[in-house]
Amino acid sequence: MHVNSLKMVAAAACLLSTSQVMALEAPKRVECIAPAGPGGGLDFICRSIGKALNDLDIVSGNIQVTNMPGGGHGVGYAHTVSKRKGDAGVFVATSTGTTTRLAQNAYPGLDSSMVNWVAAMGAEPGVIAVRKDSPYQSLSEVLDAIGQNPGSVTFAGASPLGGDDNLRVLLTAKRAGVDELKDLRYLSFNNGGDALVQVVGGHVDVFSGDLSEAMGFFDSGDLRILAVLADERLDGKLTAVPTAKEQGVDVTWLNFRGVYVAPGISDEQYNWWQQTFSNLYETPEWKKVMQQNGLIPFHKTGAEFTDYVNAQIGEVRQLSQELGIIK
């Protein structure tokens, strides 16, 4: 067969597969599982995506949000794997917290291959912050203090020991050359708000968390953000806040906001979800959601997102082993 003929056949096959994807209708019933309580980041993903899918007429009818807290996102993960196989009408909110727990084998008998990873819909950079009258004026001063005496500074976050907020501190200290990482003092609270109240109230020295958690106290002037853990400075209100890299510590920490879907669905159904989230990400409506909620551009879908998730799991597993969090 001639080369031109081969190209025509390939093009026709591509058009056919595209038309098949486009022809596949949205599921009759759509539900989003937030593997956490109401009001948090995963709940935000479900409700923001659900509203956008309705507003843009991509999905008709009410999109149910089911909160399923517990197990560091693990209850929702296990439910999706064991109870929702083949259910093309459910999507699940996920974030870096999910991949961290998978990396640390926190979901017994479960791994990343047991669900279908669909898309990252933005990311939230981590921040290191202190109360307005804190003696620490820069990230370097905090790191110098723990370098001299690791137990002299208390850190607060929402994740448990070994979770994102704790790892963020440990990795930053490690990259800054702090040796006695096991002696660092980290206190875990129920959520970012509780941790911030302790920091702003002067009971704990330093907050480690996501940008959106810190913005309320930052706007009121009660909190000073010492570093944003992104590759570049952020726009808007935070242009004056330096990155950790600018302060000589080569660390970034992005908490992606994304979705996965159930195992056992068809390739066509998976492709519909993938295409739907790709299209949604490009809309002005979603750009506005990102801007209003402190998300920076970060978009991966399908195989690229799956590869990213698995790479993240590998990196966090290695770091967790180095730090003695897991064996």
pLDDT at 284: 96
170 in Cβ contact with 323 (< 8 Å): yes
Q: What is the pLDDT of residues 267-277, one digit of tens each?
A: 999 999 999 99
Q: Is 63 helix (H, G, I), strand (E, B) or coil?
A: coil
pLDDT at 190: 81
Q: Which residues of the chain have pLDDT under 70?
A: 1-24
pLDDT at 32: 98
pLDDT at 323: 79
Distance CA 269, CA 264 (A): 10
pLDDT at 261: 98
pLDDT at 160: 82
Per DSSP, 243 falls in state: B
Q: What are the tokens at 200?
A: 């702003």
Distance CA 267, CA 187 (A): 44
Q: What are the tokens at 244?
A: 């950790």
pLDDT at 107: 95
pLDDT at 47: 95
pLDDT at 10: 40
pLDDT at 240: 95
Q: How many other β-carbons are positioned within 10 Å of the β-carbon of residue 161?
A: 12
Residue 287's contacts (CB-CB under 8 Å, 6 or more residues apart) are: none
Q: Is 293 helix (H, G, I), strand (E, B) or coil?
A: coil
pLDDT at 6: 39
Nearest to 241 by CA among 141, 138, 166, 172: 138
pLDDT at 191: 82
